[in-house]
Amino acid sequence: AFGPFHTVGFNIGFASTEIEDVVGFDEPMDVTTIQLGGYIGYTKGALGIEGYVGGGSSDFGSARQITIGTFTDEVTAKWSGTHVNASLRAGYDLPISKRFFARPVISVDYLNLKEEGYQESGATGIALNVDGRTSRLGGATAMLNLGRFSDNGKTWFRPVVRIGYRNEFINNGIITDYGFVGLTERTQLENELFPTDAILVGFSIAAGSGYSSIGFDFDSDIRDGFIRHTGRLVVRLIF
C-alpha cells in the first residue's frame, strides 16, 4: 500500500498479436510487443479502481499478396515501433458462490504508437518504401468476467472467461507517405478506418501470492471485416 492506494506495483508484459483480414487474401499481420509499466489500485468494499501507465516496443511483420490479372507475387516487410499507453478501469465483484464470481468492468484507455519507416522485400515496382508514422487510439470498454477463485492462504489461482463490447472514440485515419522501390515518385495514402465497434471475447489464467503473480490472457477482437487475436503473458510484482 502507498498513501490512499491499496496496491502499487509495476509489470513486465509480452504480447503476440495476429491481425487477420477476413475479407481479403493477405497473410495476417503479426505483432510482438514488450512492455514495462506501473499501476495503482484503490479498493472500497467490492469496488476496485485501477490506473495504469506504460510504454514499450513492438516488432511488426506483414506479407502482401499481389494479384494483377494472371500476375501474382508476394512482398514482405518487417519494422519496429515504440508506444506509450494509459488506462483507467473500475470493476465490481459479485460473488455467485463460495468459489465463483462475476465482475462487470468498465474502462477507458489511450495508446500513442510511433512506427519506424521500412522497405518491403520484393520485386522492384511493387515493393513499397514507407515513411514513419504515428497512430493514436482511445476507447471505452464494458466487460463481464466470470471466474473461479481458489486461495490456500499462501497462493491463489484464478481462471476467468469474459465477453464485452468496445467503442473507439479516438480512431482517426493515418496518412502514410510511401513510394515504390526503384521509382522516385512518392505519394500519400490515408488508411481505411477500422470499425469503431467491436465484440470482445477472451479468457485468463492467473496464479500468484501476496507479492507477485503470473498470468496468461487470450482475447479476440471481432469487428466487421477483421478479427484480431492477442495473447499476453504478464508478470506482476506487488509492493
CATH code assigned at 216: 2.40.128.130
Assess if residue 144 is contained within a domain: yes
Domain of residue 181, residue span: 7-238
Assess if residue 15 is contained within a domain: yes
Q: How many structural domains does the chain have?
A: 1
Assess if residue 207 is contained within a domain: yes
The C-alpha cell at 151 is 486461495
Assess if residue 2 is contained within a domain: no
Per-residue pLDDT in tens (0 to 9) along the chain, 239 residues? 444 556 788 888 899 988 876 666 667 789 999 999 999 999 999 999 999 999 999 999 998 888 888 888 899 999 999 999 999 999 999 999 989 999 999 999 999 999 999 999 988 889 999 999 999 999 999 999 999 999 988 899 999 999 999 999 998 778 899 999 988 899 998 877 778 999 999 999 999 998 889 999 999 999 988 899 999 998 887 66
The C-alpha cell at 36 is 514495462
Assess if residue 24 is contained within a domain: yes
User: What is the rounded distance in angstroms from the CA atom of residue 206 to the CA atom of residue 217?
Assistant: 8
Assess if residue 114 is contained within a domain: yes
Assess if residue 1 is contained within a domain: no
Per the CB < 8 A criterion, the answer to whether 54 and 85 are in contact is yes
